[in-house]
Structure 1
Amino acid sequence: MDTMEPHGHGMAADILTSEVANARQRILRAEIALERTEQMLAENIGLRGKMRCLVEAADRLVRIDPPG
């Protein structure tokens, strides 16, 4: 049984080439997901800082003018 194709590559080589291409696509998707995760984390850290400032400001207001 001859598995060699006319251009000199066997079926195993074609399968390997396909698997490598699939692996590269998965790596690229993972890198994109990681970049987006890092962006979201940075945004969340920024929002956390803003929230902390707002809570501290509200606390100061309550101390200056307590309810009731």
Structure 2
Amino acid sequence: MVELLNLEMAAARQRAKQAELSLKQAKTMLDDNHGLAISLALCSRIRAGQARAKAAKRRLLKMVPPTSAH
């Protein structure tokens, strides 16, 4: 059971990291001047990337058992 949780957490961390990397790449591309159509597409990609990164982080946080503060 613990091994399955570790595997799921590793996969969730990987998804979060990949979403953040994709977001960073899109933001870097937006800094280059490619024209309006490309910029609009990149803005859409950035918004989608932000949503994926947030969702991946939320899933990861749900898997991490809360620590007890005694």
Per the shorter chain, which TM-score range? 0.3 to 0.5
Q: Which has the higher contact order (CA 8 A, sep 6+)?
A: 2
Q: Normalising by the residue count of structure 1, what TM-score does the alignment of the two structures yield?
A: 0.47
* Larger radius of gyration between Structure 1 and Structure 2: 1
Give the TM-score normalised by structure 2: 0.45
